[in-house]
Amino acid sequence: SYELTQPPSVSVSPGQTARITCSGDALPKQYAYWYQQKPGQAPVLVMYKDSERPSGIPERFSGSSSGTTVTLTISGVQAEDEADYYCQSADSGGTYRVFGGGTKLTVL
């Protein structure tokens, strides 16, 4: 089955830039989405269509795509950004959704 690969963890100091990658063979054909999940809460959409930011999501969150890799970038990381981040996309046919394994962002 189709898989998306994320690093298990990323650590940055406050004010620095965090970059979380997600790799998958179908990413050149299918959009990627990013979700933020804090402990005990449901996931929240923070990026859609690779690089579009939903209303209410701070401008420090941005997304990009290059070939089979998409990247979520958080500029000027704040303590409140500490969370698990999941990428999500679809298989090449567009029917079956898939999530990456998740990346734990730690703000030092």
67-86 footprint of other proteins as x/- string (CB under 8 A): -----------------x-x
Q: Considering beta carbons, is residue 50 or 81 the nearer one to other proteins? A: 50
Q: Is 23 in the site for other proteins (CB under 8 A)?
A: no
CB of 13 to other proteins, least distance (A): 26
The yes or no reply on residue 42 touching other proteins (CB under 8 A) is yes
Q: Which helix (H) or strand (E) holds 34?
A: strand 33-37
Helix H or strand E encompassing 21 = strand 18-23
Tally Cβ neighbours within 10 Å of residue 81: 21
User: In the chain, which residue ranges form alpha helices assigned H by DSSP?
Assistant: none
